[in-house]
A and B are shown apart, each in its own frame.
Chain A
Amino acid sequence: MAELHVELVAADRKVWSGEATIVLARTKSGDIGIQPNHTPVLGAMDPQPVTIRQADGTTVVAAVHGGFLSFADNKLSILAEVAELADEIDVDRAERALAGAKADSEAVAQRRAEVRLLAATGR
């Protein structure tokens, strides 16, 4: 099965890199699924978990808070200021952050906490 190379990069570190069969993300104009040999694309992303499916059936989920994706020559780069893998996320802390953000009605912080929870728990 054809595979594409994925680089998930945050501003201060490389979060994940490896081979995948399909990557699901949400750009400003809607959800996008990228499989090998997709046409070159460069998009701005909305804060939303990114799902990376690998050939052996395992999936990697990462909370990506905005940023960009660029795909060309079977190489996909996902760039974000902040990105974390699902298993790096502290669910309790995210829940507390969500409650705090809701109380202060801070839309950005709330969205950030929601994305984290979505990535970590699938809710």
Chain B
Amino acid sequence: MGAQLRVYKRRIRSVTATKKITKAMEMISASRIMKAQRAVAASTPYATELTRAVTAVATRSNAKHPLTTEPVGATRAAVLVVTADRGLAGGYSSNAIKAAQELTKRLKGEGKDVDSYIIGRKGVSYYGFRNLPVAGSWVGFSDKPTYQDAKEASAALIDAFVTETSAGGVDELHIVSTEFVSMLTQNPVEARLLPLSLAETEANAEEQGPFPLYDFEPSAEGVLDALLPRYVESRIYNALLQSAASEHAARRRAMKSATDNAGELIKTLTRLANTARQADITQEISEIVGGASALADATAGSD
């Protein structure tokens, strides 16, 4: 076998192995998307009911709660960005990070200091590599978040929010995550969690009609006190679940194109290997024929 042919054969073998791996990853991701989507659907009733309750209290009571009132001249903001723990998911993590960077730039343009909070190893390594300050980070659950994970992150964020600004607290809470639109489309989205944006709550109120006049147990302030942390948790939980679904979808797509590319490469390499083999054979034949005729000439000459 010719040297050329051997090299081609070896490359085909290695690409075939890669293709098998990417194919497997594609199928794993595909099955996990369904699971992640189910988790999103299962958490939706809680999130909707909670949003409704928060909206009801916020619009129906005149309670002035620090978590709902717009601070005058906010100077510090927190940005939570949700990324993946593992790579091989196309532009999933970098898109989320890019959106977070844009938001950070905009907030800085408004004269606010920004604290960055990160979920997912990819984000942590991005910020670490560039020596950007990180206020807090959580890793290890990006593909299968639980409510407990959301609770941990939101506890730190709410803590920062209720701390006085002068003591290192923040006035605003933003979250950048990836919205799962469909298997093919996932968009990075940003939302302000706190203070509650009134435009959003009013839009909801109009959709659902006027709220009844609730009695509050124990009091409007007491309910709001207990409700808002839960609201933040549930918003973060929902963002985590959506991002997990998006991550799987992005990984599936990336792995599908990797598999397709590997297939293409194998095809091209097979063609080249065939050409090389044919060239080898042709050369061998011409050598034999050349050798035979030279031999024949030699015998004829000796006669």
Contacts and interface: CB of A to CB of B under 8 A. Distances in A.
Please indicate whether A and B come from the same complex rather than being unrelated chains. Answer: yes
Interface of A: 7, 9-14, 27-29, 32, 39-44, 67-68, 70, 72-73, 77, 79, 81
Interface in B233-269: 233-234, 237
A81 B39 contact: no
A41 B222 CA distance: 13
A70 B57 CA distance: 11
A27 B226 CA distance: 12
Interface in B203-253: 211-218, 222-223, 225-227, 230, 233-234, 237
Interface residues of B, number: 31
B15 interface: no
B202 interface: no
A70 B56 contact: yes
Given A12-B147, A13-B42, A68-B226, A42 B214 contact: yes
Secondary structure call for the A interface: strand
Given A28-B222, A79-B53, A42 B216 contact: yes
B301 interface: no
B214 A14 contact: no
B50 interface: yes
Nearest to B52: A70
25 contacts: A7-B49, A9-B45, A9-B46, A9-B49, A12-B46, A13-B43, A14-B42, A29-B217, A39-B215, A40-B214, A42-B57, A42-B215, A42-B216, A42-B223, A43-B217, A44-B223, A44-B226, A44-B227, A67-B230, A68-B223, A68-B227, A68-B230, A70-B49, A70-B214, A77-B49
**Which label, helix, strand, loop or mixed, suits the secondary structure of the B interface?**
helix
Given A44-B223, A44-B227, A79-B53, A7 B45 contact: yes
B43 A11 contact: yes
B160 to A, nearest CB: 21
A11 B217 contact: no
A29 B43 CA distance: 28
Contacts of B43: 11-13
A122 B100 CA distance: 51
A79 B216 CA distance: 15
Interface string B44-83: 0110011011001100000000000000000000000000
B43 to A, nearest CB: 5
A13 B237 CA distance: 13
Given A9-B45, A11-B46, A70-B52, A42 B234 contact: no
Contacts of A27: 217-218
A57 B21 CA distance: 58
Given A27-B218, A81-B233, 8 more contacts: A12-B43, A32-B217, A40-B215, A70-B52, A70-B53, A72-B211, A77-B49, A79-B46
Contacts of A77: 49, 52-53
B75 to A, nearest CB: 32
B293 to A, nearest CB: 83
A79 B50 contact: yes
Nearest to A71: B214
Nearest to A13: B42
B218 A28 contact: yes
Contacts of B147: 11-12, 81
Contacts of A79: 46, 49-50, 53, 230
Nearest to B49: A77
A43 B216 contact: yes
B46 A10 contact: yes
